[in-house]
Amino acid sequence: MLRKTTISEDFHHLQDHLQEAVKKGAKGFSRDAKSLEKELAGLIKKAERYTGQLEQLMEFSSILNSTLDASRVRELAMKATCKLLDCEGATLYLLDTEKNELYFETIVGAVASEQLKEIRLKVDESSIAGTVAMKRASMLVNEVGKEKRHYKQADQKNRFHTKNMICVPILSRSRLLGVLQALNKDQGSFTKADQRLLETLSHQVAIAVENALLYQNLRAQFHETVMALATAIEAKDRYTGGHTKRVALFSVLIAKHMGLSKDEVEEVRLSAILHDIGKIGIDDKVLKKQSALEPQEWEHMKEHPELGYRILGHVQSLKTITDGMRYHHERPDGLGYPLGLKGEEIPRVARIISVADTFDAMTSTRPYRKGLAYEVAFTEIVKNRGTQFDEKVVDAFIRAFKMERMGKKQKKDAGGT
Ligand SMILES: [Fe+2]
């Protein structure tokens, strides 16, 4: 806001001169037209620059608020700082509330070193960032060399020479989230206007960081719930011995080799963890039977996808997850269950879990049969490409099997038969 005042002050100054000119007439006026013209041109340039910065600020705000990925938010905040303030680097420290320390989180621009990640600063006056965090007030330091509180180790570790900096607190409803720093102005030194600009940006960063943190917590809670549900089914069906974890691992590998995005892979993982949750509703006699199932027992067992869907299907936001649960026994040739869907009628997540699930089932030893060798199971899946299994999924499975030592490595990681 002060930026606006500065430019309006400049305009008022010019207006005074013009009024003087009108009052005194051209003769008595102390300034010539040329100098006035020059001043006006300078002001217009300044106004253009401010408008550009405001536009950038608005653009960054909308980009920042368009993602809930915490690390992406932080990276964007740093990039915005460098671009908006025309400076060499930017750093972001977040607050560790338990220890009341700032820890290094993100860095971009010239200031980029892995070693910086080890830095932790106390929230006190022993460093510039600590002071800013403690006082919750920004600082502009144009001669860093003369500032005793400058944390020199950061420069040494990074072989970076901080000449000047602006450090602002990131506050959300007066709660401290961290500290944002702009380092080394490209030309000259930082101005008060730069300081105000970074303060404005820090408000946007605070909102985005807080939203991302809340979302992160929510996801963590959700994952814990998912794991608790999966553990419940594993406890009931002890012969599966790590089946859920392995199916999740295999599904993730296949999804990655299909080129799915990070978020999509995560959905596949959760869906795979929960794919057999419906077995909670299957009679223990059938579930724990130590010999091959009778036809009517199979019919009962085949109800588990629908049972799972009945447990979580009403939660709209879990659509992909419940799709995997409900359709992982469907087959592209229409011979699967429960609905006998064909080809791409079967959601992609379910087509992926189907391959991962079958691969693990075939290679796992049951009380009534020994597991197949990985290569044998692999050949069997490839043989059924396009009939029992989706072609694209099998192609990704082939790549995953060959490149990730699929089976051996993951069985060891997830434990099991
Ligand atoms: Fe199943």
Separation of CA 109 and ligand 1 centre (Å)? 49
Q: Where are the beta strands (DSSP E) in 62-164?
A: 87-96, 101-109, 120-122, 139-141
CA distances from 129 to 110, 224, 292, 348 (A): 19, 35, 67, 48
Q: Give the distance (Å) from ligand 1 centre to CA of residue 338.
A: 11
Produce one character per residue of 23-41: b if its CB has 16 or more CB atoms within 10 Å, e if not: eeeeeebeeeeeeeeeeee
Compute, in angstroms, the gap from residue 275 CA to the centroid of ligand 1: 6
CA of 224 to the centre of ligand 1 (A): 21
Q: If residue 234 lies in a helix (H) or strand (E), which one and from where to where?
A: helix 192-236
CA of 367 to the centre of ligand 1 (A): 18
Going by the DSSP 8-state scheme, the letter that residue 142 receives in this structure is S
3-class state of residue 171 by DSSP: strand
**Ligand 1 geometric centre to CA of 329 (Å):** 6
The CA 250 to ligand 1 mean position distance, Å, reads 15
Q: Which CATH architecture has domain 70-214?
A: 2-Layer Sandwich (3.30)
* Phi, psi angles (nearest 5°) of residue 222: -65, -45
Which CATH fold would you assign to the domain 237-414?
Hypothetical protein af1432 (1.10.3210)
Distance 270 CA to ligand 1 centre (A): 14
CA of residue 342 to ligand 1 center, whole Å: 18
Sequential pLDDT tens for the chain (417 residues):
444 455 667 667 777 777 776 676 666 666 677 777 787 788 888 788 888 888 888 888 888 877 888 778 888 888 888 988 999 988 889 999 999 999 887 666 655 556 666 778 899 998 999 999 999 999 999 988 788 788 777 777 666 788 899 999 999 888 999 999 999 999 889 999 899 999 999 998 898 888 888 888 888 888 888 888 888 877 777 666 688 889 999 999 999 999 999 989 999 999 999 999 898 889 988 888 888 889 999 999 999 999 999 888 887 778 888 999 999 999 999 999 999 999 999 999 999 999 999 999 999 887 777 889 999 999 999 999 999 999 999 999 999 999 887 776 555 555 444
CA of 244 to the centre of ligand 1 (A): 10
Ligand 1 mean position, distance from CA 353 (Å): 9
Alpha carbons 118 and 103: distance in angstroms, whole number? 8
Output the CA 237–ligand 1 centroid distance in Å. 12
Please give the distance of CA 383 from its chain centroid, rounded to a whole number: 38
Distance 220 CA to ligand 1 centre (A): 25
Q: What span, in angstroms and rounded, lies between the C-alpha atoms of 326 and 212?
A: 31
- How far, in Å, is the centroid of ligand 1 from the Cα of 274? 10
Please give the distance, rounded to the nearest whole angstrom, from the Cα atom of residue 326 to the centre of ligand 1.
9
**How close is the Cα of 359 to the center of ligand 1, in Å?**
12
Residue ranges with CB less than 5 Å from ion ligand 1: 276
Contact 266, 215 (CB under 8 A): no
Q: How far is the CA of 219 from the centre of ligand 1 (A)?
A: 25
Q: Are 263 and 286 in contact (CB under 8 A)?
A: no
Q: Cα–Cα distance between 309 and 316 in angstroms, integer?
A: 12
Q: Give the pLDDT of residue 28.
A: 61
CA 403–ligand 1 middle distance (angstroms)? 26
